[in-house]
Amino acid sequence: MSKIVHELDLELQEDTYEFESRVKNLMWTVSEDYEASELGSSALGATKNISMYNAIRHGALNMFFDRDEVALYIAKKAYLGGDERHLIDIAQVCSEAACYNKITKHRPGVEDIRRDAFEDLLDYEMSALTANLAGRIRLTLISYYLTGELKGENNLTSAARIALSAQDAETTYELLKSIDRMYNNHFDRSFERNKGGLDRVLAVDIKDLRDYDWSDFVKDELYADILEDVLKNISASLASENQDKPPQKAKKSVIYIDEKTTSKLYSYVELNHGKSYLSKEELSRRNRALCTGMHADCSLYYTEGILNNYVQMNYRYKYVEMQTSKNKLMYYDNHRLVKSNIAHLTDILKKALVQRQDQDFVSSDRGIIVPNKLWRVGRCSTEKLFKMDNKRDNCDFVIDILIDGSGSQQRRQGKVAMQGYIISEALSNLGIPHRVMSFCSFWDYTILQRFRDYDDVTSRNFRMFEYVGTSNNRDGLAIRAACYDLLQRKEDNKILIVLSDGKPNDANINRPDSKVNVIYQGDDAVKDTALEIRKARQNGIAVLGVFAGEEEDLSAEMKMFGKDFAYIRNIKNFSNVVGRYLKKQIND
């Protein structure tokens, strides 16, 4: 019973972390800023629709205005005696009005998400919305957004009109004018008379803020820079339901990639996939060598995973940790079947290697004399009167296992992890050097996660259960990168095994600051992958495709791998299928 409860708990945690990941990625995608502050936990609302719309609101504010300036304004107003909770609530409704028309021009689908979120808010958050003045103002605005009619008590419709006036805001300063006006007119009518208007608020010196007691704002008093944390908390709170410089113009909807943006993307990849085991210099060298042609302006990133070299224990770390536990649970439930597959595959390969070691004599002009050929002396021109042992080295093999680690594999993550583990264990049993990597792509990066290297100890094989499927897959570039290292190996016989679902797909949707403009999917992606496989074979690398996808994608797999692919319908037959191919390569 406890095991079932544990599994259910893992399922619930996995769903939570996976959805958190989706919501945060949605916010970053909308904002087009990978250094934007993360969503606060309160941004995850009562339903998925509410959470998604909160992420969109948060990202849109960051895209079109300066969210840090809004947070700084709230801190300054609070310093002068304003109520920070009311200010945050007002900033939400005004920024929502200011951003909506702008964001729907770029992402029309936001309209449906907003409508669904509003309907859920009316179903699940009505009591919270009616509990205070800011909530009632938002309720008035929601009614207006859904029906097109602005009606209700005079003070509510008056406040709603101030929020709607923010629709014309083009700069952060203009947005702040609406926020400040609503606060002064509806929440503290004495504030402007006693403390001054917006310009007076913005004139507060940053040094005064640093000397202020912000203890009510900060949960952890050990922070070295309390003001920084206050601003971070306020900024993150702008998405939830319940420095002196002049105001800046709204950000443009198109951002041209530059060194700063590239650095942000790299930091995001590092944060969510773990630090790279290669230096930046080596990564740059490989990118120049490999990211060419259809993959020009792409980047490669080599890592051993977030669990092994993390930047911080964030939501992604926790999610990978949970999925690893799930993968291991599946292994323990099927360990007899897995052990049987390992033993069977080991046996197939061992017999093939023994046959390879058997003496295989060939005619030669030197070696051991063959008596029954002596009659040829003086009668024939041939001098091949000897025989020589053509014994082959059974250790002259090296194998790369490359696994599709994209989001399309999420339904079979545990099975994929077991398949990789079975191959790795069998090869380790025979002392054959091999490497196991997964690949996925996010924005311009193709991320290669190494579970074990060619000459690692056998215990590293268990890292295979850290496998997680996420994002897209640029198969052609991943295969090119795997072959690059494989060709550096001294072994004569090189084999690449690719476990995939037969659907290379790295479409550049929702990437306005991406350098890569070519959509990598469909026939073009299949042809590119097939081309890289042909190049590998021309360079002496034997390539096997292990297909674990849907039957309708079989034709694409055949186009890419030709006759050398295996369709795995059931893991029970995995060792037989892979074993037959490897045996063929060993005996050729």
pTM: 0.58
48-69 pLDDT per residue, tens: 788 888 888 878 887 888 877 8
Considering the segment(s) 333-351+395-439+447-587 as one domain, its CATH architecture is: 3-Layer(aba) Sandwich (3.40)
Backbone φ and ψ for 452, nearest 5 degrees, come out as -150, 150
Q: Residue 245's pLDDT is what?
A: 37
Nearest residue to 494 via CA among 394, 397, 423: 397
Banded pLDDT at 261 (limits 50, 70, 90): low
Banded pLDDT at 134 (limits 50, 70, 90): confident
Q: Residue 249's pLDDT is what?
A: 36
318-362 pLDDT per residue, tens: 889 989 999 999 999 999 999 999 999 999 888 888 776 554 555
360-400 pLDDT per residue, tens: 555 666 667 766 666 666 666 656 666 665 555 445 899 99
Q: Residue 412's pLDDT is what?
A: 85
HSE value, Cβ hemisphere, 13 Å, CA-based, for 210: 8
Backbone φ and ψ for 384, nearest 5 degrees, come out as -80, 75
Q: Residue 398's pLDDT is what?
A: 93
Residue 112 CB coordination number (10 Å): 10
Mean pLDDT value of segment 460-487: 94
Write the CA distances from 474 to 198, 522, 528, 534, 554, integer angstroms: 51, 12, 10, 16, 18
Q: Which of 18-22, 47-51, 454-458 has the highest mean pLDDT?
A: 454-458
Nearest residue to 504 via CA among 466, 483, 530: 530
Average pLDDT, the chain: 79
| First-to-final CA distance of the chain | 52
Q: Residue 481's pLDDT is what?
A: 97
Is it the case that residue 246 has pLDDT exceeding 50? no
Q: Residue 12's pLDDT is what?
A: 43
Q: Residue 385's pLDDT is what?
A: 63
DSSP code at position 216: T
Distance CA 443, CA 511 (A): 7
Q: Residue 9's pLDDT is what?
A: 46
79-117 pLDDT per residue, tens: 888 888 888 888 888 988 888 888 888 788 888 888 888
Contact 441, 296 (CB under 8 A): no
Contact 437, 451 (CB under 8 A): yes
Q: Which of 17-31, 255-269, 286-300, 350-364 has the highest mean pLDDT?
A: 286-300
Q: Which of 137-151, 288-302, 372-386, 559-573 has the highest mean pLDDT?
A: 288-302
Mean pLDDT value of segment 547-555: 73
Q: Residue 123's pLDDT is what?
A: 77
Question: DSSP string covering 281-335, please?
Answer: HHHHHHHHHHS-GGGTT-EEEEES-TTTS-SS--HHHHHHHHHHHHHHHHHHHTH
36-47 pLDDT per residue, tens: 555 554 455 567
pLDDT: which is higher, 210 or 287: 287
Distance CA 547, CA 27 (A): 34
Range name among 253-257, 510-514, 561-565 with the lowest pLDDT average: 253-257
Q: Residue 509's pLDDT is what?
A: 42
Share of the chain above pLDDT 70, in %: 73
278-323 pLDDT per residue, tens: 999 999 999 999 999 989 889 999 999 999 999 988 778 888 998 9
User: What's the residue count for the chain?
Assistant: 588
Q: Residue 458's pLDDT is what?
A: 95
Is it the case that residue 3 has pLDDT exceeding 60? no
Share of the chain above pLDDT 90, in %: 34
Is it the case that residue 529 has pLDDT exceeding 70? yes
- Three-state SS string over 44-75 comes to CCCCHHHHHHHHHHHHHHHHHCCHHHHHHHHH
Q: Residue 248's pLDDT is what?
A: 38
pLDDT: which is higher, 577 or 136: 136
Distance CA 549, CA 409 (A): 8
Q: Residue 21's pLDDT is what?
A: 63
Distance CA 356, CA 258 (A): 55
Is it the case that residue 566 has pLDDT exceeding 70? yes
Sheet of 361-364, strands arranged across: 361-364, 386-389, 368-369
Q: Residue 539's pLDDT is what?
A: 95
Q: Residue 250's pLDDT is what?
A: 34
Q: Where are the domains of the chain?
A: 43-237, 333-351+395-439+447-587, 359-389
Q: Residue 283's pLDDT is what?
A: 94
